[in-house]
Structure 1
Amino acid sequence: MQFDSLDAFLAMGGYGFYVWLSFGITAIMMVLITFQTRMEHRTLLVQISTEKQRKARIQKARKRQHDTQTP
């Protein structure tokens, strides 16, 4: 479909409001999904790091307890 002017392009044959609204909502949702995914990724990395540190502390405590119990 060709448009004679910028106004005709923006009007989209009378459906411009709906067309541009749908494009806008889609763009906003894509940005929000990207932001949410990044935040969840960071949270997951922090949780993994915390769990690794916890396991290391447990292993160190068990080793220390084992070393003190063996004569």
Structure 2
Amino acid sequence: MKFDTWSAFWAMGGYGFYVWLSFGFTLVAMLGIVVTTIRTKKSLLRAVTQKQARAQRRKAAQKLENTL
């Protein structure tokens, strides 16, 4: 579809409101997915790090207990 002017492009033949609204909703949804994914990744990495640290502390405590 060819538009003669920028205002015709933004108007989209009278359907501009719906077209740009759908683009806006899609953009917001995609940004929400990215933010949620980043937060989940950070949370999972933090949990794994805590679990590994706990396992190391338990192993050290068990080794100390065995030497006593």
TM-score (norm: length of structure 2): 0.90
Structure 1 stretches of at least 4 aligned residues deviating more than 2 Å after TM superposition: none
Paired with 2:7 and 2:20, the residues of 1 have a C-alpha distance of 13
Quote how far apart the aligned CAs of 1:56 are.
0.5
CA distances 1:4-57 after superposition (whole Å, capped 9, x unpaired): 111111111111111100111111111111111111111111111100010001
User: In the alignment, which residue of structure 1 is the partner of 2:57?
Assistant: 57
TM-score (norm: length of structure 1): 0.86
Q: In structure 1, the residue corresponding to 2:4 is in which secondary structure? A: coil
Q: Compare CA radii of gyration and give the structure with the larger one.
A: 1
User: In the alignment, which residue of structure 2 is the partner of 1:23?
Assistant: 23
The percentage of counterpart residues that share the same residue type is 43
Paired with 2:32 and 2:6, the residues of 1 have a C-alpha distance of 30
For the aligned residue pairs, the C-alpha RMSD in angstroms reads 1.0
Paired with 1:18 and 1:67, the residues of 2 have a C-alpha distance of 74
Query: What is the number of equivalent residue pairs in this alignment?
Result: 68
Structure 1 unmatched ranges of 5 or more:
none
